[in-house]
């Protein structure tokens, strides 16, 4: 027997049917909750990050110290070579180059490993119901461990070639906070987009190599200003490069140099824009990552 019809001609039983459930997976609230919940899963990402380091150098003689050895050999070799090519004083140029490599390695790895942070953890994402941010925090924590290994190189060089360091060295702490915040948004944005468009990882590898030579790591921006003048086109090109400002706020305090405020302003501005971009990408695509990987 057919169901009774109401005044509109439709079945009257719809009054007891519950409304359809509307998913909130693509909302800003869920994105923020992912960041919050992932951060408080600290035991998980702290353990996984440390295990990554141990696994990478498992059964090697020096273990994680190979991180320090490899960076030290590269920085010292480049410092000795380019100090002769550019006629720079080794006492000041070697710490400059060493810190440049240490901080550049942090930035470079955050970009390149951030691009594969989700695709590389496909198994964990599909098997463990944990927030996506856990994998990003794991990556950033691993980068901090490597940075702590590498900064020992600078401390040794500082003993050999003392630098006039004052209270401004404390600015390294807010500088590292900004570097970590940028590492988070870079990993999220490139990591999510790369799960959908795998070519992004290859493009980033090429771009990072190009930016390396455009950034004053093995050459000095000050020497360029002295040789060509502060208003030259090449100097302006250096100033446009955001990586230059990131290195200035991190390397400058450890060299005892005064860091102009505009460097901090540009880095803070990039951080704010980056986090807004991250929240937008997370809001729209976060729920699709498990399907894309």
Asked whether residue 21 is domain-assigned, the answer is no
Instruction: Report pLDDT digits (tens) over 179-193.
Output: 999 999 999 999 999
What is the domain count for the chain?
Answer: 1
Instruction: Report pLDDT digits (tens) over 72-108.
Output: 898 889 888 888 888 888 888 899 999 999 999 999 9
Asked whether residue 218 is domain-assigned, the answer is yes
Structural domain containing residue 89: 26-286
Asked whether residue 59 is domain-assigned, the answer is yes
The answer to whether 124 and 293 have CB atoms below 8 angstroms apart is no
Instruction: Report pLDDT digits (tens) over 4-29.
Output: 444 444 444 444 555 444 445 678 88
Q: In terms of C-beta density within 10 A (0-12 exposed, 13-18 middle, 19 or more buried), how is residue 128 classed? A: exposed
Asked whether residue 13 is domain-assigned, the answer is no
Asked whether residue 10 is domain-assigned, the answer is no
- Site of tokens 């060299």: 255
Asked whether residue 265 is domain-assigned, the answer is yes
Asked whether residue 9 is domain-assigned, the answer is no
**238 against 190, higher pLDDT:** 190
DSSP state of 165: -
Asked whether residue 3 is domain-assigned, the answer is no
Cα distances (angstroms) measured from residue 222 to each of 84, 94, 96, 230, 260: 17, 15, 12, 9, 13
- pLDDT band, residue 222 (cuts 50/70/90): confident
């Amino acid at each position: 027997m057919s169901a009774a019809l109401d005044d509109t001609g439709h079945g009257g039983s719809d009054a007891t049917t519950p409304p359809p459930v509307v998913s909130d997976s693509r909302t800003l609230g869920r994105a923020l909750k992912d960041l919050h919940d992932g951060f408080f899963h600290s035991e998980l990402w702290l353990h996984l990050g440390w295990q990554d380091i141990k696994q990478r150098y498992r059964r090697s003689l020096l273990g994680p110290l190979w991180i320090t050895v490899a960076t030290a050999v590269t920085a010292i070799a480049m410092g000795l070579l380019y100090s002769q090519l550019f006629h720079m004083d080794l006492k000041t140029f070697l710490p400059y180059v060493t810190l440049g490599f240490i901080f550049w390695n942090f930035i470079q790895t955050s970009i390149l490993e951030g691009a594969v942070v989700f695709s590389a953890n496909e198994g964990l994402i599909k098997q463990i119901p944990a927030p996506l941010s856990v994998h990003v925090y794991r990556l950033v924590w691993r980068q901090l461990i490597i940075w702590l290994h590498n900064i020992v190189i600078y401390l040794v060089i500082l003993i050999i070639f003392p630098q006039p360091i004052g209270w401004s060295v404390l600015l390294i702490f807010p500088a590292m906070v900004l570097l970590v915040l940028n590492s988070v948004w870079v990993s999220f944005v490139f990591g999510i987009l790369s799960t959908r468009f795998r070519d992004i990882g290859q493009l980033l590898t090429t771009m990072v190599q190009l930016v390396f030579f455009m950034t004053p790591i093995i050459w000095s921006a000050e020497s360029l200003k002295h040789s060509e003048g502060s208003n030259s086109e090449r100097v302006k090109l250096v100033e446009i490069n955001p990586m230059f400002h990131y290195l200035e706020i991190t390397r400058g305090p450890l060299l005892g140099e005064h860091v102009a405020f505009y460097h901090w302003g540009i880095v803070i501005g990039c951080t704010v824009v980056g986090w807004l971009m991250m929240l937008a990408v997370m809001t729209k695509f976060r729920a699709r990552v498990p399907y894309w990987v």
